[in-house]
Amino acid sequence: MEKEILIKKWLNNELNDSEKEAFGKLDDFEINQAIVDNAEYFKASHFSEIDDFEVFKKRYNSYNKPIKKLTWLNPLLRIASVLVIGFGLYFTFLHNSITQVKTVAGEKITVELPDTSEVVINALSSIQYNAKKWDEKRSLQLDGEAYFKVAKGKKFDVVTESGVVTVVGTQFNVKQRPNFFEVKCFEGKVNVVSDTIKRMLYPGQTFRISNHKFSEGTTNSTTPKWAANMSDFESVPFKEVLAEMERQYNIKIINKNVNVDRLFTGGFVHHNLENALISITQPMNMTYELSSSNRVIIRGKNN
């Protein structure tokens, strides 16, 4: 009974010095203390009161079971808990430092990077980079197409599924779509690496891999035309032209008797769908039909 009196006075904070000493020597002192300490984390609010003695006694009985054989695990469990929390905080912090920008069909966005470099992102494209580590490593991932105006400084990497473009300070365009990878240099120097192919591009030079075939070319433009709302193509498979039109107008194009591998040179505007369709079908001896607000049928000859 003396033990219960000590516990009751302890709960009410009424122990004198000698009683505190006696209470601390109880075999289950650590269990008693743990019950109260843990209870603090489960209160509905800071206005809650500590359980009365009878409730405490029931909780004590549930704790006071012969499980001391497992106490050797406590240090390991504590270490594991610290590691889990640490890794969770680390990966949460790392994830939150990643900046991602995406565009939808028909949309273009200009983004300023931490070093004042600019990226103009074309329709249905995305970039992502680590803003917190930008000063250490200027690198971003691109999915789609973007035009870069890179501020001078450390090397600048644009990483795509098809290859890596590396510069110091320059202006260039990178387009990475399914089975199509193209880089155009407008200013400065651009180093391109795609699988085993490596090239250094100078102003006016282009690098392209289409359907696994590599080619080099030239351009007279000083900026990409799509940034001024016009897509242009030079000897590009017609399927790439149709895919770009779908991205710019948010439409679905259905082909009937069309050779989509036939090469196309020309372009189309981004602000008038009918004019755009005329621009790509007439040179290819094709016709088109607007069947609904977001569906277009393009027919080849004899269909």
Structural domain spans, the chain: 2-93, 99-226, 229-299
Among the four given CATH numbers 3.55.50.30, 3.20.20.220, 3.40.50.300, 3.90.180.10, the one describing domain 229-299: 3.55.50.30
* Residues shown for the chain: 303
Q: Residue 84 is inside which H or E element, if any?
A: helix 74-96
CATH architecture of 99-226: Sandwich (2.60)
User: For each of the chain's 303 residues, which pLDDT tens digit applies?
Assistant: 476 776 667 667 777 777 777 767 766 666 666 555 554 444 443 444 445 556 555 655 655 555 444 444 455 555 555 555 555 545 554 456 899 999 999 999 999 999 999 999 999 999 999 999 999 999 999 999 999 999 999 999 999 999 999 998 899 999 999 999 999 999 999 999 999 999 999 999 999 999 999 999 999 999 999 999 999 999 999 999 999 999 999 999 999 999 999 999 999 999 999 999 999 999 999 999 998 878 999 999 765
Asked whether 125 and 103 are in contact (CB, 8 A), the reply is yes
| pLDDT (0 to 100) of residue 22 | 75
End-to-end CA distance of the chain: 101
Tally the C-alpha atoms within 13 A of residue 227's C-alpha that lie toward its C-beta. Answer: 18
| pLDDT (0 to 100) of residue 21 | 74
* Residue 218: burial class (beta carbons within 10 Å; 0-12, 13-18, 19+): exposed
Alpha helices (H) in 28-73, listed in sequence order: 29-39, 53-63
